[in-house]
Amino acid sequence: MVETAKHLIYAKDYDKIEITHNAPYRIHFRGVKDKVNIIIKEGVRAFITERFCPRTPNVKVDFVLEENAELVLSAFCDVSSVSVSHNIQSKPNSNFSGYFGFYGKNVKDDWHFVLTKGSLAELNTVSFCKGTDNHFHNITTHQIEGSNKVKFNGRSVAVMQSMCKFVTKGIIDKGSAGAVCSHKSKILTLSDEAKAEVDPSLLIDEYDVQAGHSGSVGRINKEELFYMMSRGLSEQEVIKLVSNGFLVSRIEGFLIASDRNRFYKALEQQEKL
């Protein structure tokens, strides 16, 4: 787990960044330039945290993970009206882990993965949609060759009149025998007005693969509600505990400490669900 970022990079200063040393980095998107190309060189292990700024509402990051490279990417984005797009090109035997939290108003979150032989990619996202927020998560994984593995876990809580949507698409090309693909999206809705949608799809052109997708949208389980209320908690208190827990169980252990605390703080301040 990365606790501090030793290398601070302002994306506006670069078109292309090459990471050549095992180290933690923090990338700030705070200028007019919103597109950057980052290459993790062969065999390098990098930890990158991203920081977003309201002045840069459209962020596009292209990552290339060279052979045997490893990238742990983490961010908590509480910027409103932001569009974040990540393209991850994974060369053979590379390893990607991404952990993202979203709390802002109106978020468009795009991920596109291309995986080759022996590469691994795991992405976890959590988001909290409140008021009239609109969160749209679009995840595409494209396994183009050899045995590789991709896993996506998305969780969101939608309250008040907010809207949350997950669109996940898994593509497995011919020649990807042994590939594993798992996409899971869960949305917890806490009001009658909150809207949630999950649209998963898989396009598989190979026989020897393991692929699965699941999507669930629902309210708090009534048995859980009864159980917790039977210990004296009001319905509102239960909703707050359960919805925070729904996200916290995913946040813990992956966001870096400072981002994790910012997310906790945001959730704690969320008084009116």
Partner 1 sequence: MSRVIITIEDLVVNIKGKQILKGVNLKMQGGEIHAIMGPNGNGKSTLASVIMGSPFFEIESGKITFDGVDITHKPTDERARMGVFLGMQYPSEINGVTNMQFLRSAYNAVHSDEKVSLSTLKKSVMQTAKGLKMSKDMPNRYLNVGFSGGEKKRNEILQMMMLKPRFVMLDEIDSGLDIDALQTVGENITAYSKSAGENAAFMLITHYQRLLNYVKPDFVHVLYEGKIAKSGGAELSLKLEQEGYEWLKQQSI
CB of 79 to partner 1, least distance (A): 25
Q: 5-10, long-range: CB within 8 Å, 24+ apart, which pairs?
A: 5/47, 5/49
Output 199 or 224, the one with its CB closest to partner 1: 224
Output 208 or 223, the one with its CB closest to partner 1: 223
Output 81 or 226, the one with its CB closest to partner 1: 226
Output 11 or 129, the one with its CB closest to partner 1: 129
Contact call for residues 109 and 100 (beta carbons, < 8 A): yes
Output 72 or 251, the one with its CB closest to partner 1: 251
CB of 234 to partner 1, least distance (A): 5
Q: How far apart are CA 158 and CA 172, in angstroms?
A: 31
Q: Which residues of this protein are in contact with partner 1, per CB under 8 A?
A: 221-224, 226-235, 237, 241-242, 244-250
Q: Hey, what are 39's tokens?
A: 């290459």
CB of 240 to partner 1, least distance (A): 9
The amino acid present at 202, given as its one-letter code, is L
CB of 229 to partner 1, least distance (A): 4
Q: How far apart are CA 30 and CA 255, in angstroms?
A: 21
CB of 248 to partner 1, least distance (A): 4
Map tokens 């590789």 to a residue. Answer: 148
Output 144 or 248, the one with its CB closest to partner 1: 248
Closest CA to 216 of 250, 166, 181: 166
Contact call for residues 18 and 41 (beta carbons, < 8 A): yes
CB of 221 to partner 1, least distance (A): 7
CB of 225 to partner 1, least distance (A): 8
Output 82 or 251, the one with its CB closest to partner 1: 251
**Beta-carbon contacts of residue 36 (< 8 Å; ≥ 6 apart):** 11, 14, 15, 16, 17, 27, 60, 61, 62
How buried is 174 (Cβ within 10 angstroms: 0-12 exposed, 13-18 middle, 19+ buried)?
exposed
Map tokens 């949305």 to a residue. Answer: 187
